[in-house]
Each structure stands twice: as C-alpha cells, then as structure tokens.
Amino acid sequence: METKLKIKEDWSGLKKELKQKYAALTDLDLTYKEGREDELLATISRKIGKTKDEVSNVIKELQTKMAGKSIVEREGIHSEKSRSARNLTGEGEGIDADPRHIEASKKH
C-alpha cells in the first residue's frame, strides 16, 4: 500500500523537527525529493521502528504544529505592529494624545 503524503511546509523546518524528535535520523535519511514521498516514509519508518502510516501521521502533526506556529508568529508580529502604530499616532491605552498636554510637555 502506498501512503499519500504531501509535504506542505518548508521541508528544512520539518526535517529539523524530525531530527529533534528522533535522534537516530540523519540528514541523508531525511533527503526529500518531490514525488518520492513513499521512499522517504520507508526510510524513516525503518530508522525509527514505526509503520509508514505512523510516520506519515507524525509528519502531518508536525506540519499542523508548524502551521499553527506560523499563524501565531504572524499574528504576534501583526499585533505588535498595530500596537506600535497606535502608539505613534497617540492611540491606545495609557497614551494622552490631547494636543494641549503635548504642548505643555514640550515647554518643560
């Protein structure tokens, strides 16, 4: 039976995660070539003692985890940019944008 696996994320990131999770895996074991996913699964399967389906599931879980990180990182960056933009325009919590106060603080 051939396992259908699509590498959706950056393979170098997935490779790094797999090597951290399974110390027995080497860069050579994790050589990825598009269209040869089944061979990759077979190699990983032999090295870590799991079935190809189990390996496929591990990779899919890592892809989901990495995709979630990417969204969180993007959202975090977006939120930080928004917060900075609000601060620059005088919007946001704790910022007094009243021009009278700004002028008064310049005189001191």
From CA 88, how far away is CA 56, in angstroms rounded? 48
What pLDDT was estimated at residue 101? 56
CB-count exposure of residue 44 (10 Å: 0-12, 13-18, 19+): buried
Q: How many CB atoms lie within 10 A of CB 47?
A: 15
What pLDDT was estimated at residue 27? 95
Taking the chain (108 residues) in consecutive chunks of 10 residues, what is each chunk's mean pLDDT?
Answer: 67 92 95 91 96 94 84 63 58 55 57
Pinpoint the alpha helices (H) of 22-51: 37-48
